[in-house]
Structure 1
Amino acid sequence: MKTVKNPIKIYLALILTVICLFTYAHPFYVSITDIVYSSAKKNIEISSRIFFDDLEAALNQDGKTQFDIRKPHRKDVIDTAIAAYAKKYFKVSTNGQIQVLTYVGYEIEDDVVWCYFEIPQSQPVKKLEVSNRMLYNNFKSQSHIFHVTVDGKRQSTKIDNPKSFFKMEF
């Protein structure tokens, strides 16, 4: 058996291999959406966490514009663009009826954009159906993780491009 005389060369080779793997690793694209219904509030609150550069790329491609979400010249223009984009690619139905998302606003936290929406909901939610194609035109490996809470009962799911639909019953 041959013994290794220079462990530093092996250590350096290992470090270089790890660096190469991380350099060429494919990035992942994921958003996380919380959907919360409270019968006491008669309201569905939706908050989505999306990497700001991913959302920027999607808005810019979809609207053929150039937005800088972190340093907007006019925040109201970006608000309008996000609301229109969500209306086009994010659909919610409750108890078999399509709902209208009301865009509330967005805020930046580190590398993430928090987008907020509401849906008035006077009837208890028994069935929730969601279609989300946001970012799918830009990122073939896009995934969406959903955490849905209805009157304290929580369910979670994940959909990967091209799958864009899920339903839950409570």
Structure 2
Amino acid sequence: MKLLFGKWILLLLPVLWIGSSAHSVKDVHPFYVSVTEINHNAAEKSLEVVCKVFVDDMEDVLKKSFNTPVDLSQASQQARAQNLLNQYVQRHLQVQANGKPVTLQFIGFEKDSESVYCYLEGANIASVQKLDITNGLLHDLTPDQINIMHVTVGGKRQSTKLDFPAKQAHFKF
């Protein structure tokens, strides 16, 4: 009887561990990744930037960075959330086009079920031959962070992956 009970406990142990209050499913995060898309819009002479990050990761890093909880889904917190997202992204994402720093204007953000999208724009960029990017998004949250970047200029798309602690990417067109 003890042997049979022991087998049942061993089978239920993973379920009990995952379901316990000490270890939530959120603690067993399978991967940490962000995707940043940069598109040169020649007609508008601008760089259009979209950063996609898991909502829970972004909320966690904002809480850690600004020492205050943030709920990106609360309409009542939208202005505050936009301000914190802007500050965070400006600190952790810098772009140089043709050797000159690009000022990225934070346009806004939107949240879907699992992700938050941050929209930025760099103005007065007529052409791009070279982009140098520093992307340290979520590096201050986990050493498991991976940042993927896709850059499109003149219809040509280039991509790279930055594994922590790498932050620098260079693209030539």
1:91 and 2:87 matched = no
Cα separation, partners in 2 of 1:45 and 1:61, compared to 1, 3 Å: same
For residue 91 of structure 2, what is the amino acid of its counterpart?
K
For residue 38 of structure 1, what is the amino acid of its counterpart?
N
Instruction: Tell me how many residue pairs correspond in the alignment.
Output: 153
For residue 82 of structure 2, what is the amino acid of its counterpart?
D
Q: Is the 8 A contact 1:72 1:78 kept in 2?
A: no
Aligned-pair distance for 1:40?
1.5
The corresponding residue for 1:162 is: 165
Q: Is the 8 A contact 2:71 2:77 kept in 1?
A: no
The corresponding residue for 1:4 is: none
Q: What residue ranges of structure 1 are gaps of 5+ in the alignment?
A: 1-15
> What's the C-alpha RMSD, in Å, of the aligned pairs?
2.1
For residue 167 of structure 1, what is the amino acid of its counterpart?
H
Query: What is the TM-score of this pair, normalised by structure 2?
Result: 0.82
Aligned-pair distance for 1:39?
1.3
The corresponding residue for 1:111 is: 114
* Aligned with 1:76 (options 79, 84, 92): 79
Q: What residue ranges of structure 2 are gaps of 5+ in the alignment?
A: 1-10, 19-26
Q: Is the 8 A contact 1:102 1:117 kept in 2?
A: yes
Aligned-pair distance for 1:26?
5.9
Cα separation, partners in 2 of 1:26 and 1:53, compared to 1, 3 Å: closer
* Deviation readout 1:131-156 (Å, 9 max, x if unpaired): 01111111110001111100211001
1:44 and 2:18 matched = no
- Once the two structures are aligned, what percentage of the paired residues are identical? 34
